[in-house]
Amino acid sequence: MTRHRLFWPAAALVALLLGNVAVSPRFFAIEIRDGHLYGNVIDILRNGAPLILVAVGMTLVVATRGIDLSVGAVVAVSGGMACVQLGSTSVVLAVAMALGLCLVLGAWNGWLVAGLKIQPIVATLILMVAGRGLAQLITGGQIVTVSSAPFLAIAGGYLLTLPLSFLIAMAVFALTSLVVRRTALGLLLESVGGNPEASRLSGLRSGRLIWLCYVFSALCAGIAGLIISSNVTGADGNNAGLWMELDAILAVVIGGTQLTGGRFSLGGTVIGALLIQTLTTTVYALGIPSQETLLFKAVVVTAVCLVQSPAFRAKLVRRRRRPEPPASLPAPEKKVEVAS
């Protein structure tokens, strides 16, 4: 069981949740208020939805041996476009325009990586910087507030007593898992990331797959941007989604997907995203000062990564099983010959 790729991420998540119970015995308490579930666990699911979405898109990009540093900027662009357009159009049209712009940004990243063969970290770094400027341009450098009830329901609404934002994230996760695991797409992505040269020699058009992954990553980031702007009832082009790309990459790695490409785990990514969100909730519950928050999270994440490392676990096992040095043997007796 311990060899399963999801065991250690799941064990770390469970341990973190149990640690919260030690601090707050009613941590798992769930109540029904105003017709929906209410509690700490529900808050983790609701607040973790944007990160789950971004991390799912990032997983496919990482599987192709790439990286997308622009997802945080795309989150800001999506929220800014939707909130600005809500002043003159309907919610459906505003959401469609925001997601359409995100698709264009994803296509731009994919063209730079798959078409021009620019290193993914450099190609997406361009949009990471330029995207913030585009978000500021869209919002006019101001924080745009909204009061549309249908739009605010994206993050604040509930369906079947569960947060609507979490259900949206789970729908995207389920649809993505269905496509990549029930079709040949998943194997093709792993082939492109695991051995690009062999994929090219076998006639696989890897450029199209890589381009598609970056488009999908931007789409997931766009949906996350809508949830975040709905949650805060406004758009902040400067701070929305700030450094979110780092949390997404961390969730992917914690979930068992290697940055070198190849095999990936969407389920592990969701567990990793929930672990990071649980860690954030733990920081607030413990009342850790803001100046120490990042250090605390870094220590916990480092411990989780070490536990997941097979080499680290093997060293611990070898130390425990190190044999004791053998006891010194008595020196052999010298035979004295007597001359006859």
pLDDT in tens, 54-68: 999 999 999 999 999
- Higher-confidence position of 150 and 328: 150
pLDDT at res. 6? 81
- Of 1-15, 194-208, 222-236, the range with the highest mean pLDDT is 222-236
Q: With a threshold of 0.85, does the pTM exceed it?
A: yes
What's residue 136's pLDDT? 95
Crossing angle between the packed helical segments 71-85 and 206-231, to the nearest 10 degrees: 50
pLDDT of residue 336: 55
User: To the nearest whole percent, how much of the chain has pLDDT over 70?
Assistant: 93
CA 112 to CA 135: how far, in whole Å?
A: 21
- Predicted confidence at residue 199, as pLDDT, reads 82
Contact 65, 195 (CB under 8 A): no
* Residue position matching structure tokens 């969100």: 277
179 pLDDT more than 90 = yes
Helix 40-63 / helix 164-182 crossing angle, nearest 10 deg: 30
Q: In the 8-state DSSP scheme, what is residue 182?
A: H
Average pLDDT along the chain: 89
Which residue has better confidence, 89 or 304?
Answer: 89
Q: 212 vs 318, which has greater pLDDT?
A: 212
| Nearest to 249, CA basis, from 89, 112, 121 | 121
At 232 the pLDDT is 94
The pLDDT value given to residue 1: 64
Q: Given the DSSP bridges, would you call strands 144-145 and 234-235 parallel, antiparallel or unpaired? A: antiparallel
Task: Supply 222's token pair.
Answer: 């766009």
More confident: 194 or 95: 95
Is the pLDDT at 200 greater than 50? The verdict is yes
Q: How many CA atoms lie within 13 A of 24 on its CB side?
A: 17
- How far is 208 from 200, CA to CA, in rounded Å? 12
Residue-wise pLDDT tens digits, 100-138:
999 999 999 999 999 999 999 999 999 999 999 999 999
Does the pLDDT at position 329 exceed 60?
Answer: no
CA distance 142 to 238: 9
* pLDDT, tens digit, 9 for 90 and up, residues 212-254: 999 999 999 999 999 999 999 999 999 999 989 999 999 999 9
Residue 45 has pLDDT above 90, yes or no: yes
Give the whole-angstrom CA distance, residue 74 versus residue 68: 11
For residues 299 and 237, give the distance between their C-alpha atoms in angstroms, rounded to a whole number.
30
pLDDT of residue 249: 93
Residue 281 CA, chain-centre distance (Å), reads 16
340 pLDDT above the threshold of 50: no
- What confidence score (pLDDT) does residue 331 get? 57
What's the angle, vertex CA 299, arms to CA 296 and CA 301, rounded to 5? 105
Query: What whole-number distance in Å separates Cα of residue 82 and Cα of residue 183?
Result: 34
Of residues 97 and 204, the one with the higher pLDDT is 97
Q: Residue 275's pLDDT is what?
A: 93
pLDDT for residue 81: 96
- Give one DSSP letter per residue of 68-82, joined into a string: -TTHHHHHHHHHHHH
